[in-house]
A = this chain, B = another copy of it.
Amino acid sequence: MHSAAIHLLRRVAREDAGSGVSPPRLSALSVLVFAGPKTVSELAAMERVKVPTMSRLAAAMEEEGLVRRERHDTDARAVVLHATAKGRRVLDRGRELRLTLLESLLEHATAREIAVVREAAEIVDRVVL
């Protein structure tokens, strides 16, 4: 399971490099797109990463125009991260690329195997939190 995860990620990371956005960034970006704007701390907690790490990821993503920083309404310390239109586009493209990759990887797998993998992903993600 462990080595499967390593090998999978190394493979996907290589592919994502083509789309220009690394896995941690895509992962954070997808939270912003699907769960809406979040502060740095919130996003760090959701991604199971320390705040400074997320702060840097956010800076890098802002640099790339994927994310916008805004002041919090009521707390001047907090920074709210929003996905930009470009961020949404990039996320969609990344998801498509990964999907294509996974499809081609799994093209010799049976429908049952695919279902097993999909379900396992859900279980793991639920449980790792």
CB of A60 within 8 Å of the partner chain:
no
Binds B, one of A8-16, A61-69, A70-78: A8-16
> What residues of chain B lie closer than 8 Å to A118, measured between beta carbons?
1
Partner of A7, one of B7, B105, B129: B129
CB of A123 within 8 Å of the partner chain:
yes
Binds B, one of A22-30, A35-43, A80-88: A22-30
CB-nearest residue of chain B to A123: B113
CB-nearest residue of chain B to A127: B105
Interface residue range, chain A: 35 or more
Seen from chain A, the residues whose Cβ lies within 8 Å of a Cβ on chain B are 1-12, 23-24, 26-27, 30, 47-49, 98, 102, 105-106, 108-109, 113, 116-125, 127-129
Expressed in whole angstroms, the Cα–Cα distance for A125 and B105 within the complex equals 11
Expressed in whole angstroms, the Cα–Cα distance for A23 and B4 within the complex equals 11
Residues A123 and B109 in contact in the complex (CB < 8 Å), given A8-B128, A11-B48, A118-B1: yes
